[in-house]
Amino acid sequence: AYDTMYESTRRMADAICEGLSAEGVRWSRHHLGVSHQSDVVTDMFGARGLLVGSPVWHMNVLPSVAALLDGLKALQFKGRLAGAFGSYGWQQKAAVEQIQERLRAAGMDVALPAVA
């Protein structure tokens, strides 16, 4: 699940999906700018993990990504692997660090290193 401003984070999502496919991993992709967070939550019931991406926006994640992370915290998808990715302009790790922190608060195991 990701959102993007200038397509950099989308290109990262493209590369991640290509890598997952090459390894035979089944995946679902949600661009939060056009998909609703309920679609992500529905897929999470059968998923073993989640990757979340956002560019830095006002020293934070994009509002659509923040809404997803807030919803996941309420649902507590415990025991799922999680990771963060994102593009940046001014603050290299601001968004990915916030995503990781919020995924942990949602009960997920952030075992994958962030990619920025």
Residue 10, pLDDT score: 97
Residue 25, pLDDT score: 96
Say what the pTM is: 0.94
Per-residue pLDDT tens over the stretch 102-113: 999 999 999 888
Weakly modelled stretches of the chain, pLDDT under 70: 90, 92
- Taking the C-alpha atoms of residue 73 and residue 95, their distance in angstroms, rounded to an integer, is 17
Compute CA distances 74 → 10, 12, 69, 78, 94, whole Å: 26, 27, 9, 11, 23
Residue 111, pLDDT score: 87
